């Protein structure tokens, strides 16, 4: 390109202008920013209090146009809704009770979430599910909370966003009867096997893929190599699960670029195609 450029300079300004115009028309499509959606980020947490404006601006620069905020429990609702209110065209809150927040008072927490669902519209019920990693004290209560919230989603025609850790098969089994009744959603931070992925896809659920994809020992690259992009949405889970090369540091939505890049590499397609397909998937599941 340098030789061509110099040649047109030697021919004169008029020829150079013609060359530049042609190059611009041919490459214009590559100059357009990607359009991305972070389907799962906790940007309302304390980790972002000091620089949330910068975090959002960095995400915008790489093409993130929408941010979906999963709830955890009653303690975060005010901060989550405040962030959504500050950027209503970009941020969309969910409502639900995280399985790690299912304790002795889980029915009180569910009541708070249900009351909020009666006050206004939310993007989804989430994040909800089963987590047997940290503590199995409230396994029975986790099942109850999960099934209750899936029923809410069916009644309100909302998707769900699922958290599952050390409970993949158990989660799939409890979702199946609800999926048969029309429930749809996302298995957030999918890290299961190819067989797990196929069971989820058979239920017409999507796989939420984030920074774990960039971890060499995760095994996720081999699984996703065999999964069509139409079943995948992008997420960060910020501030958690930061992708390489920033693993170990705070995650943020702008780091979706590393997830997109890795998916493009695995699929041997352009990052633009990854962005377009996963964004369309996200817009379809959330209905906006």
- Kindly report, residue by residue over 45-83, the tens digit of the pLDDT: 999 999 999 999 999 999 999 999 999 999 999 999 999
**Bond prior to 127 in cis (omega within 30° of 0):** yes
Residue 86 CA to residue 83 CA, distance in Å, equals: 5
For the cut 80, the answer to whether the pLDDT of residue 20 exceeds it is no
Q: Which pLDDT score, from 0 to 100, does residue 214 have?
A: 97
- 3-class DSSP state of 259: helix
- Furthest-apart CA atoms within the chain: distance in Å: 80
Mean pLDDT of the chain: 90
- Kindly report, residue by residue over 249-271, the tens digit of the pLDDT: 999 999 999 999 999 999 999 99
Distance of CA 185 to the CA centre of its chain: 12
- Kindly report, residue by residue over 219-233, the tens digit of the pLDDT: 999 999 999 999 999
- Kindly report, residue by residue over 151-164, the tens digit of the pLDDT: 999 999 999 999 99
Average pLDDT over residues 10-32: 37
CB distance 153 to 125 below 8 Å:
yes
Q: Which pLDDT score, from 0 to 100, does residue 135 have?
A: 87
The mean-pLDDT minimum among 29-38, 80-89, 211-220, 245-254 falls in 29-38
For the cut 70, the answer to whether the pLDDT of residue 24 exceeds it is no
Q: Which pLDDT score, from 0 to 100, does residue 12 have?
A: 44
Q: Which pLDDT score, from 0 to 100, does residue 34 have?
A: 85
Q: Given CATH 3.20.20.140, say whether it is the number of domain 34-286.
A: yes
For the cut 80, the answer to whether the pLDDT of residue 186 exceeds it is yes
Give residue limits of the domains in the chain: 1-32, 34-286
Both structure tokens of 15: 């020829």
Provide the whole-model pTM: 0.88
């Amino acid at each position: 390109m340098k030789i061509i450029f110099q040649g047109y300079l030697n021919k004169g300004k008029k020829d150079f202008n013609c060359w530049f115009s042609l190059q611009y028309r041919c490459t214009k499509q590559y100059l357009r920013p990607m359009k991305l959606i972070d389907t799962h980020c906790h940007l309302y947490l304390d980790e972002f209090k000091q620089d949330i404006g910068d975090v959002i601006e960095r995400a915008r620069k790489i093409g993130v146009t929408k941010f979906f905020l999963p709830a955890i429990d009653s303690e975060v609702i005010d901060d989550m809704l405040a962030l959504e209110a500050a950027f209503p065209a970009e941020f969309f809150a969910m409502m639900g009770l995280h399985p790690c927040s299912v304790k002795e008072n889980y029915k009180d927490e569910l009541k708070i979430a249900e009351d909020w669902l009666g006050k206004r519209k939310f993007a989804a019920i989430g994040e909800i599910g089963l987590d047997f990693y940290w503590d199995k004290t409230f396994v029975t209560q986790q099942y109850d909370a999960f099934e209750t919230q899936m029923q809410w989603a069916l009644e309100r025609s909302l998707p769900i966003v699922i958290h599952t850790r050390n409970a993949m098969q158990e989660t799939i089994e409890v979702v199946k009867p609800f999926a048969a009744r029309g429930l749809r959603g996302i298995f957030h931070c999918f890290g299961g096997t190819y067989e797990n992925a196929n069971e989820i896809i058979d239920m017409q659920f999507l796989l939420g893929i984030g920074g774990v994809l960039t971890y060499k020992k995760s095994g996720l690259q081999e699984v996703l190599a065999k999964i069509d992009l139409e079943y995948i949405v992008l997420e960060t889970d910020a501030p958690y699960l930061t992708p390489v090369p920033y693993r170990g540091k705070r995650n943020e939505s702008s780091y979706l670029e590393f997830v997109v890049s890795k998916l493009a590499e695995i699929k041997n397609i352009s990052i633009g195609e990854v962005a377009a397909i996963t964004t369309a998937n996200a817009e379809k599941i959330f209905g906006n």
